[in-house]
Structures are given as structure tokens and as C-alpha cells.
Chains A and B, each alone.
Chain A
Amino acid sequence: MGSEGQAPVKLSVQSAVGAAAEGKVEAQRVHEVSAPSRAKRMDLNGVNIYYGKFLAVEGVNLPIEPRAVTAFIGPSGCGKSTVLRTLNRMHEVIPGAYVTGEVLLDGQDIYASNVDPVNVRRTVGMVFQRPNPFPTMSIYDNVIAGLKLEKGRRIRKSETDVVVERSLRGANLWNEVKDRLKAPGAGLSGGQQQRLCIARAIAVEPEVLLMDEPASALDPISTLAIEDLVHELKTEFTIVIVTHNMQQAARVSDTTAFYNLAGIGQPGKLIEYGPTQEIFSSPREKQTEDYISGRFG
């Protein structure tokens, strides 16, 4: 803790912390969430990802542009989600899992030994495949869970009210739940729960937002709502989205990265990446073309 290498991450955390003395400044900050400079770029250099002895993903080199949507596509088991989880150090939550290579967040390696994964996760938020609101908490408490449970965080009611409204509006959920903020979060529909999870993720003001198949458990209407939301969110955040749905990748993303694996038990690889239009219209690799056109294998 406290080395200069960590400064950018820590800075962002402190900016969210409302010390009592800075009350007014803080309130202003909360309103102008979307200072467009906040979104950060990420770069993967020679990343190998392991589960114990098993090499799951090999040699990923990939730039992720700020304020844009990067989509990861590829067949099941190719390591899309695994790569996603290395971007906020959630991969290592699994016992025995580790990563080699560099993952840079605005030039700083998030796997450097002096980086606290808790700070990384506060900077790089995540939305999961299955909606997972905290079942013991109300809608309101779900949204502010991240802020409230931060290290040594004390936060005033007036401040959380602002955060809750801003985050729920940001997730296009405000109008549906504004009259029942005290109702349990688990009582919402699947699509609403997922948007609640997005609200929860953006409430801590991350700079990058990772989405692991956020719409795969949802019906088409809710999926559309999430996709529209991704479009809006990319003005503020760097977004990386994993999807099995190629139309979805084509609709929402600016850049697409295609992963594939040579066979069962082989490591997954990043085959190619590029502007989404190019990947879908004129991919450089045969495998990509086969996958996209449905002639896979």
C-alpha cells in the first residue's frame, strides 16, 4: 500500500470518498459523474491465464480503448469470460488461479505486487451473467452497497440519495422502482434485477465496466433495454462485454475480439481483433469468418 505505483488507482478511490470537510465539493462531484476524462484504457500484453497447472488462455495482446465498447466473442470454453475476469483481478478469486503477463490500466500494471486487488475492483466494475442482487438488501441498499461497505467509509443519507437516483437513472431503472426503493431487490423481474446490478456497479463510479454475458439470462425486451443502456454508458465508461450473441456484439460494440481454442484441453487464444464492422464484414482469419457465418468447425 501507498507506493507511487498505485497512485492513479488510489486517487480515484479518494475522489469517491466524501470527507466531511469536503462536503460541498463532494456533492458537486457526485453530480458531475460523467467527467469524460474518467474512462480509462486497458492494455493486455502477453497475458497467460492459468487455473492451477492448466493454461486456460494463452498469449493475449489486446488494447481496450476508453469510452468504447469492446466485445469478446467466441465458442464456449474459449476463455472469453476468463480474460474478462483477469481485467479486474476476479480471476484469482478461484483457488489456484493466476495470471502472467501485463494487464495495464492507463499504463499501470494491475498485477504488480504492490497493487491492492480491492482498489482495482473499485476502478474496474463488473456485471455478471446471472443477476445477483444481494437478497438481504432493499433496492436502495443494493445500489449503495459498494459505497457503504468500502474500507472505512462513512456516508451521509443526503449523499446516498443522490447516488441512488443517479445510478438508477444511469441504469434506466429509476422510473420503474422510484416508488419502492425500500422493497427487496430480489423481488424485481430478471431484467430489472440485472439493471439493478448495473446500477450497483456504476454507483461506485468505476472507470471500466466489465459485463459477462449480461443479457444471456434475459428475455428479448430486457435484452434490448440492456443494449440501449450499454450504448449510453459508453459515453462515460470503458466497456468490455462478453457475449454469445453475435448480433448483439455487432449491435453494441465498437471493437470486437474473437477468441477460439484449437481443441478440448488446449488453451484458448485471441485470434483477432479490430473494428466491429471489419470483423463482421471482412475478417482476416478464416476461423473468424467460419464462426461468424455459422460454419464453425
Chain B
Amino acid sequence: MSVTTRPTPPAEVRGVELTGKTLPRLAPLYSGLIAVAAALLLNVLTSVQGVAGTAVVAALLFVAIQSGWSFAVEGKRHAVDRLATTLIYATFVAAFAALVAILTVTVAKGVAALSPDFFTETMRNVSPRREGGGIAHALVGTLEQVLIAAAISVPVGIMTAVYLVEYGAGKRLSKSISFFVDVMTGIPSIIAGLFIYTFWVLTLGFERSGFAASLALTILMIPTVVRATEEMLRIVPNDLREASLALGIPKWKTILKIVIPTALGGIITGVMLAVARVAGETAPLLLTTFLSQNMNWNPFAGPQASLPTFVWDQIASGTNASLDRAWAGALVLILLVMILYLGARIVARFFAPKTS
């Protein structure tokens, strides 16, 4: 304790070598260049043809060259490290490429039919072969159906999650709710549509309507909202709940004013993912409200159009004009979800926990 003595190393140090051989800093670049050059060479010399084939060959060569080089110079651990790094980047590129491809194709093919009129006109009296027409009726339908579905499933989902996290911990009821929410997550969307069709339309005798479609979408939304909200509520530190309770704030107000606001950013993101998921559903809508070429503002009576069924219908018609409209409809659907998502992020930013 009193004097700090530095332990003198024993004569024979059986320590670890701290330095080792490393590849040059630009080794990935060199490997990449060699791999691309070799792939191009193979492209010329052998039967490997086409951009995709060459790219795959180049990628495989890159992995082989860099890992082999690293193994020879740096040893096994570094070689595996480089291999894993490459694989992770590759999966990212593959996922991102799919996203970029979808967006570019949709934008490229969708802009053809896009015009101001496209947003204000319906398909009433527009034959499939003719150009023109629009998605006003489908836009109204999708917005109404999704908003109604959200208006039902967001309160139900959030309250369920609040019960699961704040009140039901360890209770049998909460465990079974948790289990059935998981089961609901796996329900195929067409089953949700069939259920509402048999229950709402056939059994209770209501007509097909946008509202029936909303009910089917609600079944799909609730489990997503419950799960997302539950996750977010669970990561709110218990310290905050205790701090609030210790101030003499009742439990319900603690949840409403402290816990939920703290988790609100994540809850909103989860809700928007659920909205995005159901906004693109087609099958349940076909069963519950089917198609319409006309504007129908009333979601409670008569068939109502929607963007996914509009796209489906236009593709089914199969003429050049209708295919253009289908792509434009798909583009509008993507943009709609994106706008809703960005809007929600801005709202979430506004409520998010603040640090200066």
C-alpha cells in the first residue's frame, strides 16, 4: 500500500508480441482493383458474360484475394475480421440496391402518367385503353381507410402495451395477451380480409365499404402497434417512474405525462411503420370493399377505391395507358407513405427527450 513498486518482469518473459505485420492501409482498394481487373479479363477470355455475372465474379475474387492476402501476412484472426467486414458491407449493399432499384424503376415508369390532373380526376368513364383519368378516388379511399384503421388500432394498441408493461408484469393475463399478439402478427393479410368479410358482411349483414376495409387493416395494425409501443415503454428507465411516483404523482399520470412522452418518438415511428405496412395491403381490401372507379367520400357505404386496388386493377387491364397509370399509382403510394413517415419523424423530434 505505502510505496508503489513496479513489479520487475521475470528474466524470461513469455509475453505476447505486441506488434505484427499488417497489410497496407489501402489493402481493400488494391484487392478491389485487382479483383475488378481479373473479372474484366475473365469477361473477355471466358464465357462469363454480362454486367451481373462480372460483378459477382469480381466480388468473389475480391473476398478471395483480400482474405488470402491477409491470412498470409496478418494471420487468421485478421483474415476472418476482413472477411466478416466484407460480408456485412455486402449485405448492406444488397439490401440498399433493392431499395434503390424499386425507387428508380417506380419513379422512372411512374412519372409518365403523372400530372396535376392525375390527382384530381377519377377513373369514372375512362376506358382502360384511353389515357388520362386519375387517382383522386383511390387517394381519398386509402387516406380514409388508413386513417380510420389508425384511429381504432393506435389507441387499442397503445393501451394494450401500457397494460402489458405498466400493470400486467408477470400476470397470466398479460402473458396470454402477449402470446396472442404474437400470433396476430403472423396472420396473413388475406385471412384478416376473409375474417372481416365473413364476420362483418356475411354474418352481421353490413354492406361492403371502406369501413369494412379499415376493420381488416385494424387487425393487421394492432399487433405491430402493440409490439412497437411495448418495446419503447420497456426502455424507459425505471428511475423516471420512481422519480415521478416519489413526487406524489399518481400512477396513471406518471404513465401519461412522464413515461409515454419519454417514449413518444419511438412509439410514433412504430405507428408509422404499421401505417406504412397496411397502406400497401391489397388482398383484404379486395374482399371487404373491392374496386371502384368512382369517387366515394363516404367510407361507410358502398365500394371505395384505394391506391393498392387501383394499381392492381390497372395492371389487370394490361393496356399501355393503364400500365402507366399503375406505375404512377404505385409511385404516389410510396410517396404518400414517405410523407406520412417524415411528418411523423418531425412530430417525434418535437417530443423527443431533449439534451442541450
Contact = CB atoms under 8 A, between A and B. Distances in A.
Interface in B226-254: 237, 239-250, 253-254
A95 B168 CA distance: 10
Given A132-B240, A134-B240, A121 B353 contact: no
Contact of A184 (B243, B249, B257, B355): B355
Interface string B315-356: 000000000000000000000000000000000000111111
B116 interface: no
Q: What DSSP secondary structure best describes chain B's contact surface?
A: helix
Contacts of A201: 246-247
Contacts of A120: 248
B188 to A, nearest CB: 37
B170 A95 contact: yes
B296 interface: no
A42 interface: no
Nearest to B263: A136
Nearest to B353: A135
Interface stretch (A25-33, A58-66, A143-151, A219-227): A143-151
A208 to B, nearest CB: 12
Contact of B356 (A90, A126, A183): A183
Contact of B245 (A121, A123, A136, A204): A121
A197 B243 CA distance: 9
Q: On chain B, which size bracket covers the interface?
A: 20 to 34
Q: What DSSP secondary structure best describes chain A's contact surface?
A: mixed
Nearest to A197: B243
A123 B248 CA distance: 8
B242 A134 contact: no
Contact of B354 (A128, A146, A186): A186
Interface in A146-194: 146, 149-151, 183-184, 186-187
B189 to A, nearest CB: 36
B249 A145 contact: yes
B37 interface: no
A187 B243 contact: no
A171 B170 CA distance: 39
A295 B237 CA distance: 37
Given A122-B248, A132-B237, A90 B242 contact: yes
A121 B247 CA distance: 6
A118 interface: yes
Given A183-B356, A187-B356, A93 B242 contact: yes
B249 A149 contact: yes
B122 interface: no
Among B246, B249, B258, chain A packs the most CB atoms within 10 A around the CB of B246
Contact of B250 (A130, A135, A151): A151
Contacts, number: 91
B261 interface: yes
Contacts of B105: none
A125 interface: yes
Given A134-B262, A135-B354, A136-B354, A128 B242 contact: yes
Nearest to A210: B246
A80 interface: no
Contacts of A138: 354
Interface string A79-105: 000000000101001010000000000
Contact of A187 (B242, B254, B354): B354
Contacts of B249: 118, 145-146, 149-150
A102 to B, nearest CB: 21
Contacts of A118: 248-250
A119 interface: yes
Contacts of A119: 248
B90 interface: no
B164 to A, nearest CB: 14
Among B237, B254, B355, chain A packs the most CB atoms within 10 A around the CB of B355
Contacts of A197: 243
B169 interface: yes
A128 B239 contact: yes
B244 to A, nearest CB: 7
A19 B147 CA distance: 42
B247 A187 contact: no
Contacts of A150: 248-249
Contact of A136 (B246, B254, B261): B261
B355 A187 contact: yes
B288 to A, nearest CB: 39
A134 B248 contact: no
B354 A200 contact: no
B354 A130 contact: no
A120 B249 CA distance: 11
A125 B249 CA distance: 11
The 6 A-B residue pairs with the shortest CB-CB distance, nearest first, are A122-B248, A187-B356, A135-B353, A184-B354, A146-B247, A126-B246
Interface of A: 88, 90, 93, 95, 118-123, 125-126, 128, 130, 132, 134-136, 138, 145-146, 149-151, 183-184, 186-187, 197, 200-201, 204
Given A90-B242, A118-B248, A138-B354, 6 more contacts: A121-B246, A132-B239, A134-B244, A183-B356, A186-B353, A187-B354
23 contacts: A88-B246, A118-B248, A121-B246, A121-B248, A122-B247, A123-B248, A128-B239, A128-B246, A132-B237, A132-B243, A134-B240, A134-B244, A135-B355, A136-B352, A136-B353, A145-B247, A146-B249, A149-B258, A151-B250, A184-B353, A187-B356, A201-B246, A201-B247
